[in-house]
Amino acid sequence: MALFNSDSERQRKENLKRMEDERLRFAQEMDARGFRPERMFFCSREDGSFVALALHEGKLALIDAPKFGTDGKFTLDLLDAPQCDREDVFEKGTGLNGAFGFGTKGARGFNLFIRNSDGLFVKVPVVFGRNSWMEAPYKKNPLLRTRRRRGDANVMWDFTPIDSQSLKKIESMLQDYYLAGVSAASARPAEARPEPRPEPAASTADAFYEALEAAVREEELDRYTRVNFGAIYRADNCLSVVWHSPNDCELCYTIDRERTGYRDEHLTQQQAMEKCLAHMRGKKEAAERAPEI
C-alpha cells in the first residue's frame, strides 16, 4: 500500500486536481459565453498537452490545453479567416520497431500548422504511432462539461491511439468539416524564405524558420542530412524548438521525451539556430571524411 502513498502519487493527484480546476473554470466560462459547438476534434501532443478544433458561428475555434503538471490555462482562439499549412510525416521503424527497447518505432501521418490570432503557428499532430485523438459531440464533450469529472479524470484519458484506419477517418473529417474552406498559410512556403541569410527576428516563430532555412541553404547542409522542424513553442520569451532527422537515429534536441528520451531544452532563437547548424555541420564533416567506395 505504500506505493499509493508515495510523494509521486500525491503529486500526481495534486496535478490532476489543478488540471481539473482549470478545466472546470474554462468550461463554465465557455458556457457563459454560449460556446456550445456541435462537435469537437481533440488531438494529443508530445509534450503532454492537447489541441482541439471546433466550429462556432462560422469561425474556426482553436482550443489550446496546458501541459499536464503546469499552471497553464486553457485558451480559446476564434479565427475569422484561418490559414493552415500541412507537413507529411513518415519515419521508418528500425530494429524491432521499438519492441522490448530494440530500435525505434515508425510514424506516419501529418502535422497541421494553423496560424493563430497572434500570427504564430499552432501545431496539430495527426501521426499514427505517436498521438491519440477523439471526436465528441457537445453533450458528451469532456472538456466543456460544467461539472467536475469523477476522480479529477484527465480529459486525455478519453483519447484513443491513432491507427491506420483512424488516420484516414481523421484526414477526411478535417478536410470535409473542420478545415473546409480554410486557406493555405502564406508564410511557410519555400519561395517565401528570404535570401541571403537574415538575422532571426525576435517576435515571430516563422521568421526564425526562414532564417534557419536560409542558413542551411547557404552552407549547403541539406545535402548531408535532412532536418524536419516540428514546431516552435513560445515560453517565457524564449523558444523551445522541436526538430528531428528521420534519417539520423541519434539526433538532437527535442521535447518529445517519450519517443527519444532527450531532455527538454529551452533556448533563445540564436542558441537554437547555432545548435541545429552545429549538428548539421558535423554530419557534413563526417560525410566528407568518409572514404569513397
Comparison of pLDDT for 129 and 138, the residue scoring more: 138
pTM of the predicted structure, to 2 decimals: 0.60
The runs of H, that is alpha helices, within 97-193 are 164-173
Average pLDDT (206-224) is 66
Comparison of pLDDT for 200 and 227, the residue scoring more: 227
163 phi and psi angles, rounded to 5 deg: -120, -175
102: pLDDT confidence band, cut at 50, 70 and 90?
very low
What's the pLDDT at 222? 60
**pLDDT averaged over the chain?**
74
**Quick check: 241 pLDDT over 50?**
no
The runs of H, that is alpha helices, within 219-268 are 257-260
Which cell numbers in the block locate residue 68? 499536464
CB-CB neighbours of 101 under 10 Å: 7
**Across the beta sheet with 39-44, what order do the strands follow?**
75-79, 59-64, 50-56, 39-44, 132-137, 160-161
Which cell numbers in the block locate residue 49? 498537452
pLDDT tens digits along 226-237: 444 444 433 333
**Quick check: 204 pLDDT over 60?**
no
What's the pLDDT at 127? 93
Residue 66 CA, chain-centre distance (Å), reads: 12
**Quick check: 87 pLDDT over 50?**
yes
Comparison of pLDDT for 291 and 226, the residue scoring more: 291
270: pLDDT confidence band, cut at 50, 70 and 90?
low
Average pLDDT (42-68) is 94
What's the pLDDT at 253? 38
Distance CA 12, CA 219 (A): 47
What's the pLDDT at 40? 98
Closest CA to 138 of 65, 77, 52: 52
Q: Is 232 within 8 Å of 240 (Cβ atoms)?
A: yes
Average pLDDT (180-197) is 50
What's the pLDDT at 203? 38
Closest CA to 242 of 257, 253, 251: 253
Q: Residue 129: left (phi > 0), alpha (psi -120 to 50), or beta?
A: left
Q: Is 65 within 8 Å of 52 (Cβ atoms)?
A: yes
∠ CA 41-42-46, rounded to 5°:
150
**Quick check: 192 pLDDT over 90?**
no
147: pLDDT confidence band, cut at 50, 70 and 90?
very high
19: pLDDT confidence band, cut at 50, 70 and 90?
very high
State the DSSP string of 166-200. Answer: HHHHHHHHIIIIITTTPEEPSSSSGGGS-SSPPPP
Name residue, grid cell 458561428: 57
Comparison of pLDDT for 224 and 39, the residue scoring more: 39
**Quick check: 183 pLDDT over 50?**
yes
Q: Is 123 within 8 Å of 113 (Cβ atoms)?
A: yes
In the chain, pLDDT over 70 holds for what percent of residues?
63
Average pLDDT (153-179) is 93
Most confident of 183-192, 198-207, 215-224, 249-258: 215-224
